Amino acid sequence: MKINRLMIAAPKSGSGKTIMTCALLQTFKDMGQKVISFKCGPDYIDPMFHRKVIGIPSKNLDTFFTGEEKTKKSFEKSAGKADIAVLEGVMGLFDGLSGVREEGSSYHLAKVTKTPVILVIDAKGMGRSVIPLIGGFLAYDSEHLIKGVILNRMSKGYYEMLRPLIEKELDIAVVGYFPDKRQFQIESRHLGLKMPTEMEDIKEKLKEVSEEIQMTVSIKQIMEIAKAAADLSCEKVLDESPKKTPTEDAPVIAVAKDEAFCFFYEDNLRLLQEYGAKIAYFSPIHDQALPYGCSGILLVGGYPELYAAELSKNTAMREDIRKKIEDGMPVVAECGGFMYLHKAIRTQDDHSYPMVGAVLADCYDTGKLVRFGYIEIQESGNHFLGEGERIRGHEFHYYDSEKNGNDCTAIKPVTGRSYPCVIAGKDHWMGFPHLYYPSNPLFAKRFVEKTIEYRQK
């Protein structure tokens, strides 16, 4: 299959991948191109910029979660009808599992999907030294996928001096530069970029960035690189989901979705629907009760600590959720959703805000990163997973709990280190790990089955 595509990657985090990706997406959209974007890895926030601000489809691709062939098939299925696909890398180009394995890295995804790479270099404070830096990445590129370079945070004058030197010594296309302007930066916090809903005039800012990039970067060269991508062929992959169409009497799963809860994978929700469930969104901040007739609850991740006061004030919603859980309604809660189910959240200023109270413990800010990275999870009770089976996910949180649970075991894929996690039982799965359901569809299947059993009861 012929898919015009490219990846925006970098030697390290903070090099400008997201702003460059957003600028290109906006540019392609304004050109009338049917564009789709992908984010390498488990990140939730970058795709929000693509979807909510620029208004284009975006999804995650992760070779650790789905392996090589399933990842390639997922890409082909989503990108097949687009004029151009843009993949945004994660961390440094070669940084995969634990920072030492290729699996899960931007490069692994580029290699699997045969996608040409444009390397964004943060060149501020650098001169000729940028040449051996680029040269090292080219030498390490065994598949010869790096096809172009953009020099970020550089002046026009310096760029015009350096560009011919780089192209002469390294035989690589330098497709442009981007000036160092504070107004073009996107603010960050401990879990990554600030969410687009928190940033004033973000649409206007990205429009300005897009206009700037059209003056300093050769869009023509970038399009040529994307069009030169090799044809993609996929092996037939067994699709384990049943492709059911939810019927009128399908069980309804209430999914939290608002300012505080916005970290979820579209693939997870799609899989629940394919097993026969309907999705009904609700806001723990603004709504007074769960959606009428629901028979399951999914509390996704997000930033409940930023909206702790608003969540706490909504006593009607907190009590409704607590009563439904006490009644046996199946619930899955991940990270921020797990925090919300606690007796209270203690914020950075040591203020305690009452929450749902389904977990009789407090959640508190530690001031440091508690757990980070990919994990595989094995359940001891076999309620959501079969005996000896695992599901893949990741953790990234600064808050911790007085009661993290010990009904599952998290295993780090590189070191094999393990630790207890998750409060799990017949009708509940509550913990800090974010799960990727397609890595073990049985989890989604059993969740839906539990909602059917609850409704019948």
CATH of the domain at 326: 3.40.50.880
Task: Say yes or no: 265 and 221 in one domain.
Answer: no
Which domain does 320 fall in, by range?
Answer: 252-456
Residues 359 and 432 in one domain: yes
Burial class (CB in 10 A: 0-12, 13-18, 19+), 327: exposed
Provide the domain count of the chain: 2
Query: In this predicted structure, what is the pLDDT of residue 193?
Result: 47
The 8-class DSSP code of residue 387 comes to T
**Interatomic CA distance for residues 306 and 310, integer angstroms:** 9
Asked if 328 and 427 count as a contact pair (C-beta separation under 8 A), the reply is: yes
> Is 246 within the bounds of a domain?
no
Instruction: Supply the DSSP symbol for 333.
Output: E
Residues 262 and 217 in one domain: no
**Does residue 188 lie within any of the structural domains?**
yes
Q: Are residues 272 and 305 in the same domain?
A: yes
Q: Are residues 336 and 422 in the same domain?
A: yes
Same domain, 57 and 166: yes
Question: Residue 254: helix, strand or coil by DSSP?
Answer: strand
Domain-embedded: residue 234: no
Task: Let me know whether 312 and 374 are in one domain.
Answer: yes
Residue ending a domain, among 227, 244, 266, is 227
Residues 403 and 271 in one domain: yes
Domain-embedded: residue 244? no
What CATH number is attached to the domain comprising 53?
A: 3.40.50.300
Sheet holding 408-411, edge to edge: 418-421, 408-411, 371-379, 390-397, 434-435
Is there a domain that residue 233 lies in?
no
The residue from 227, 262, 292 where one domain ends is 227
Catalytic residues: 335
74 close to 239: Cβ distance less than 8 angstroms: no
Residue 241 resides in a domain: no
**Dist. CA 430–CA 332, nearest whole Å:** 6
Residues 28 and 85 reside in one and the same domain: yes
200 and 269 inside one domain: no
Specify whether 328 is located in the same domain as 393.
Answer: yes
Render each residue's pLDDT in the chain as its tens digit; 457 residues. Answer: 899 999 999 999 989 998 899 899 999 999 999 999 999 999 888 888 778 768 888 999 999 999 999 999 999 999 988 999 999 999 999 999 988 999 999 999 999 999 999 999 999 999 999 999 999 999 999 999 999 999 999 999 999 999 999 999 999 999 999 998 765 565 554 444 455 555 557 778 788 889 999 999 999 999 999 999 999 886 655 555 566 666 778 999 999 999 999 999 999 999 999 999 999 999 999 999 999 999 999 999 999 999 999 999 999 999 999 999 999 999 999 999 999 999 999 998 889 999 999 999 999 999 999 999 999 999 999 999 999 999 999 999 999 999 999 999 999 999 999 999 999 999 999 999 999 999 999 999 999 999 999 999 8
Q: Does residue 191 sit in the same domain as residue 270?
A: no
Please state the pTM of the whole predicted model.
0.90
Residue 105 lies in a domain: yes
pLDDT of amino acid 190:
44
Classify residue 243: in a domain, yes or no.
no
Burial of 233 (0-12, 13-18, 19+ CB in 10 A): exposed
